[in-house]
Amino acid sequence: MKRTIVYSVIALLILSSCNNANQSKDSTNQVKGSLNDSLIPKKGYSEVNGIKMYYEIYGQGKPLVLLHGGGSTIQTTFGRVIPMLAKHRQVIAVELQAHGRTSDRDKEVSFEQDADDVAVLLQHLNIDKTDFFGFSNGGTTTVQMAIRHPQIVDKMVLGSALCKRNGVPVQFWDFMKGAKLANMPEQLKEAYLQVAPDPKGLQIMHDKDAKRMLNFTDIPDRQIESIKAPALIIIGDKDVITPEHAVEMHKQMTNSELAIIPGVHGEYIGEVTTLKLGSKEEDFVIPMIERFLDKSEKGKRE
């Protein structure tokens, strides 16, 4: 009798263990499925101020708009970090005028126009207010978002953004005067050709981006100082953007924080041209960004 009871208990324990294992496996599969679902983007185009703007939406939660760098696509700038950001956020990544899958217009590109285009896209997506993460040219566009459309901007991350011509070394402008498609990083050229409907657009995009930088003028101090949205300013210690410029931006933006990360331009988010360096700064930079975006407004400076 005792032996029968012991066997019965053992059988129950084995059955319970199997059920727990299956439940654990089911839970794991559900988590994996949830994560995988967040990485399957909803892709679309929207008619915006005369162009067809391409966008991708990942994950769920509070919106975070990603604005890529010059000559780039969504993936070349943010491909490494979208999976991390989409775990807790609805990530909306766009491609700006003449870049990637977005069409061009018979007009030069400008940071002001890019900001106006993004504002209209967000109206079409029924988003009244959102956070932004802009890198390089996308960072400067984010600054223009805060100036031209402050009602839309909640918090913003400014990755290697330029507000003044003296924010980069003098030799940068000398290089831009002789900018040629042949000198454009191969990773960016290949990425454009993989997604753009017309390969001839590569030269047009390059020339428009180069001209935009050559004609870049300082954003007036009064406009920068008018920005009230909380901002996290990030650069690399070997960035194109000088530390002095980042510090000056930090002083001018009342509710800003500053982070200088070891590495070159874009290395802190694993931008495609930096992958050969084999660094993984994004593993600690993205959690830092998430903490900034999620923390309460109590920490604002008066």
Separation of alpha carbons 177 and 193, rounded Å: 25
What whole-number percentage of the chain has pLDDT above 90? Answer: 83
pTM: 0.86
Whether residue 27 lies inside any domain: the answer is: no
Whether residue 7 lies inside any domain: the answer is: no
The domain total for the chain is 1
DSSP string of 121-174, one letter each residue? HHHHTT-SSEEEEEETHHHHHHHHHHHH-TTTEEEEEEES---SGGGS-HHHHH
- The model's pLDDT over 287-301, given as tens digits with 9 standing for 90+, comes to 999 999 998 544 444
CATH code: domain of residue 167: 3.40.50.1820
Whether residue 25 lies inside any domain: the answer is: no
Q: What is the pLDDT of residue 258?
A: 98
**Which of 4, 269, 219 has its CA nearest to residue 112?**
219
Whether residue 8 lies inside any domain: the answer is: no
The DSSP letter of residue 100 is T
Tokens 């001018």 found at = 252
Amino acid type, 249: M
Exposed/middle/buried for residue 89 (C-beta within 10 Å: 0-12, 13-18, 19+):
buried
Q: Answer yes or no: are the C-beta atoms of 125 and 54 closer than 8 Å.
A: no
- The model's pLDDT over 162-191, given as tens digits with 9 standing for 90+, comes to 999 999 999 999 999 999 999 999 999 999
Whether the pLDDT of residue 89 is over 60: the answer is yes
Whether residue 94 lies inside any domain: the answer is: yes
- The model's pLDDT over 236-283, given as tens digits with 9 standing for 90+, comes to 999 999 999 999 999 999 999 999 999 999 999 999 999 988 889 999
Whether residue 6 lies inside any domain: the answer is: no
Whether residue 139 lies inside any domain: the answer is: yes
- The model's pLDDT over 201-232, given as tens digits with 9 standing for 90+, comes to 999 999 999 999 999 999 999 999 999 999 99
Q: Answer yes or no: are the C-beta atoms of 140 and 134 closer than 8 Å.
A: yes
Q: What is the pLDDT of residue 296?
A: 54
CA dihedral 96, 102, 105, 108 (to 10 degrees): 30
Mean pLDDT of 31-37: 43
Give the angle subtended at the CA of 208 by the CAs of 212 and 242, to the nearest 5°: 40
Whether the pLDDT of residue 22 is over 60: the answer is no
Mean pLDDT of 133-150: 98
Whether residue 260 lies inside any domain: the answer is: yes
Q: What is the pLDDT of residue 204?
A: 98
Whether the pLDDT of residue 284 is over 60: the answer is yes
Average pLDDT of the residues of the chain: 89
Cα 94 to chain centroid distance, Å, stands at 9
Q: What is the pLDDT of residue 39?
A: 80
| Residues of the domain holding 238 | 41-297
